[in-house]
Amino acid sequence: MEPIQQHTGKVYPLNRANVDTDQIIPKQFLKRIERQGFGQFLFYNWRYYEDGTAKEDFSLNEEKYQDATILVAGENFGCGSSREHAPWALEDFGFRVIIAPSFADIFYNNCVKNGILPVTLSEEQTQELMNRAEAEDYPLTVNLEEQTVSDEYDFHAHFDIDNYSKEMLINGWDEIAVTLTKQDKIDEYEKQTLGV
Amino acid sequence: MTQPKTIIDKIWNKHLVHQEEGKPDLLYVDLHLVHEVTSPQAFEGLRLNNRKVRRPELTYATMDHNVPTIHRNVIKDEVSKKQMETLKQNCNEFGVELADIDHPDQGIVHVIGPELGLTHPGKTIVCGDSHTSTHGAFGAIAFGIGTSEVEHVLATQTLWQASPKTLNVKVNGELGKGVTAKDLILAIIAKYGVRFGTGYIIEYTGQAIRSLSMEERMTVCNMSIEAGARAGLISPDETTFEYIRGKRHAPKGEDFDKAVEEWRALATDEGAEYDATVEIDADEVEPQVTWGTNPGMCVPVSATVPTPESGETVNEKAEIQRALEYMDLEAGQSISSIQLEHVFIGSCTNSRLSDLRKAADIVRGKQVHPSINALVVPGSKSVKEAAEAEGLDNVFKSAGFQWRDAGCSMCLAMNDDIIPPGERCASTSNRNFEGRQGTDARTHLVSPEMAAIAAIEGRFVDVRQYTEQPV
């Protein structure tokens, strides 16, 4: 996966809480056996009518957000189904960073495995970011090394992230390769418990 | 004396492969369940990196999400067909046992695991499916994972997992007559919200939990993820051991007795401490109906649809308003006034034999309401067979229900079992998210009993009044 140390990009504000993975990528698109190409189906039922025409009242369809790379949303983002198609769709659409007051556990892990940085800020801070992004074209810089989020004006926030996720994201490591360096430990565990 | 421990800590500690400062724990996985939707990219990843499945004998696959529940020999959807064929090829290539669509053991992955005796107390169980929490009913740590993690488990039989916080959901007293395990878990989520379990593993404790059957415990643990918790479990007891006894993959003879002793020792010790505790009084739980677009948007059947003003914050008020619009409901209207078009009895939450029996008891000798299209989808082929052996299929069919083959079906509508736009369904499944059962479809989550009555009456009626009426 692509490493991410620092990222500057335009914010797309999605002022909704409990956005579930059924909304991020509806089930009719889970039948594909590929990992790529899910961006076109991102938020499909919110973005399109059943005949495929765009819904004008859904903000992600606005021209100004087409090159957004940072998604800011409400609490409990990514709840529900474990489908990794959700981060695949977000990443394929162009999002590299998601900022929310809280994330669902499985979705959070799925993001980290795909080089998407989930940033947890307070409710007030995310609301402030959404307000600013709704008012104008709003670029934001997220620095993972420093664990900071800042804009060109006065917004500056620090965020917490566990060391392991941080290291994986910064280096873009293949986690399986990392684990296989502990193969002797797995062998030993299996010898003791399974007798093999 | 050693410090009292929770079952969560005991299982976790037994599965530690490696621990290192500043890193999550490397945890061993005892059972990896696989299905067609979340596995193809994982197997492809193995192929690309020239890796194999480390422990095929600890891996078990089935097809459930995509499978048709009618006319099974003709799969019209080419993309679905390809996904199922891909699973078959992958299982062949990597040596994984598969219950495919034609196999007698086929069924919803969380129904067949326990049924085949693959699910045991003390195991760590994962699957690329968020309702893997179901298996926690046996006193196992069971949780859903994404496809990258599926690939990781296939390749290494382990996962990096941060040590979980523990949450005791204590259910005091006993459930009243006509109030089910489904009502209990819905009431818990209604009371504490859809994110109170985030970051935790839940243990359900208390008298009401002890009184539940294994299948009822599965219903409760199944919806732990709807409270935000990846895993929810129940300390094993005699009910657990009796359910497992004699199952195909259960230990036999002396081995079983030995296993029971080990399983018994897993139960949470008296005085063990949790990171957090919440409580609910079972006696106060009524039959529940969800009115909104997440499982926490739920009220007793006797109640009314809430008003946006009842939200505590601006965002909550807006969320209620949005849900009312999507669901096409008026704030303040009574739950019993909602008119339904569909009833779905099935899913990994409520498709086991006892669920079907309870629903059948209600519909026996009655007729499905003319406005209702009603569907029963057994959780597995063996549930279907067992139900047919006692004539439940005829009870449902003569009442006007469709009697289908096993699969996930209308719970997520990946196959052809879809609710048309704008129509409304009483469903025994686990998620009432927008579009879950079909684009613009409206879902109300209920127990099998409440769904059965809804099919007869065309609207929600309190099961307690219904069963009290003379037949």
HSE-CB for B158 with a 13 A CA cutoff = 31
The reply to whether B74 and B124 lie within a common domain is yes
Are A80 and B225 a contacting pair at CB < 8 A? yes
ipTM: 0.97
CB–CB of A158/A100 below 8 Å?
A: no
Is A82's CB within 8 Å of B79's CB?
Answer: no
Q: Report if residue B115 sits inside a domain.
A: yes
Q: B294 and B234 in one domain?
A: no
B107-116 pLDDT, tens per residue? 999 999 999 9
Interchain proximity A17–B319, CB inside 8 Å: yes
Assess if residue B395 is contained within a domain. yes
Could A175 and B148 be called an inter-chain contact, meaning their C-beta atoms sit closer than 8 Å?
yes
B218 and B350 part of one domain: no
**What backbone phi and psi angles, to 5 degrees, belong to A189?**
-60, -45
Helices (H), A48-156: 85-93, 105-113, 123-135
For residues B148 and B253, membership in a common domain is answered with: yes
Neighboring chain A residues of B316 at a CB cutoff of 8 Å: 17
**B197 vs B428: CA distance, rounded Å:** 22
Range(s) of the domain holding residue B417: 287-462
- Which residues of B make up each annotated binding site for [4Fe-4S] cluster? 348, 408, 411
Q: Does B50 touch chain A (CB under 8 A)?
A: no
Contact list in B for residue A102 (CB cut-off 8 A) is 195, 198
Do A97 and A9 touch, CB atoms closer than 8 A?
yes
Interchain contact, A189 vs B28, CB within 8 Å: yes
| Res B292: pLDDT | 98
Tell which of B277, B297, B324 closes a domain: B277
The string of pLDDT tens digits covering residues B282-333 is 999 999 999 999 999 999 999 999 999 999 999 999 999 999 999 999 999 9
CB within 8 Å: B18 and A182: yes
Mean of per-residue pLDDT scores for chain B: 97
pLDDT at B22 over 90: no
Hey, is B58 helix, strand or coil? helix
Is the pLDDT score of B198 beyond 70?
yes
Number of domains in chain B: 2
- Among B277, B305, B328, identify where a domain stops: B277
B178 and B41 together in one domain: yes
Is B282 a member of any domain?
no
Neighbouring C-alpha atoms within 13 Å toward the C-beta of B316: 12
Question: What is the side-by-side order of every strand in the sheet holding A148-150?
Answer: A117-120, A97-100, A68-73, A6-14, A139-143, A148-150, A156-158
State the pLDDT at residue A135.
Answer: 94
B394 touches chain A (CB under 8 A): no
Write out pLDDT tens, residues B26-50: 999 999 999 999 999 999 999 999 9
- For B67-121, the pLDDT digits (tens) are 999 998 888 889 999 999 999 999 999 999 999 999 999 999 999 999 999 999 9
* Interface residue B436 vs chain A (CB under 8 A): yes
Report pLDDT for B1.
Answer: 60
Using an 8 Å Cβ cutoff, are A70 and A97 in contact? yes
B416 and A CB contact within 8 Å: no
Contact: B151, A74; criterion CB under 8 Å? no
Q: Are B293 and B186 found together in one domain?
A: no
- Domain spans, chain A: 6-193
Question: Is B469 within the bounds of a domain?
Answer: no
B307 and B221, same structural domain?
Answer: no
Q: Which residue of A has its CA nearest to B77?
A: A31
CA dihedral (B22, B26, B32, B35) positive or negative: positive
Q: What is the pLDDT of residues A44-103, one digit of tens each?
A: 999 999 899 999 999 999 999 999 999 999 999 999 999 999 999 999 999 999 999 999
Cross-chain residue pair A176–B151, CB shorter than 8 Å: yes
Partner residue opposite B436 with nearest CB, options A22, A104, A175: A22
CA-based nearest residue to B80, from B36, B122, B33, B113: B36
3-state secondary structure B238-273: HHHHHHHCCCCCCCCHHHHHHHHHHHHCCCCCCCCC
Interchain CB contact of B59 with A (< 8 Å):
no
Report yes or no: B145 at the A interface, CB cutoff 8 Å: yes
How long a stretch of residues is chain A? 196
Looking at domain A6-193, which of 3.30.420.40, 3.30.1300.10, 3.40.50.970, 3.20.19.10 is its CATH number? Answer: 3.20.19.10
- Assess if residue B1 is contained within a domain: no
State the pLDDT at residue B470.
45
When pLDDT is cut at 50, 70 and 90, the band that residue B468 belongs to is low
Which CATH number characterizes residue B60's domain? 3.30.499.10
Which of B54, B79, B148 is the closest to A84 by Cβ?
Answer: B148
Whether residue B356 sits in one domain with residue B269: no
- CA dist., res. A162 & res. A105, Å (int): 13
B191 closest CA partner among B108, B348, B296: B296
B contact test, residue of A14, A16, A18, A165 with most B CBs within 10 A: A18
B386 and B405 inside one domain? yes
**Residues B109, B194 share a domain:** yes
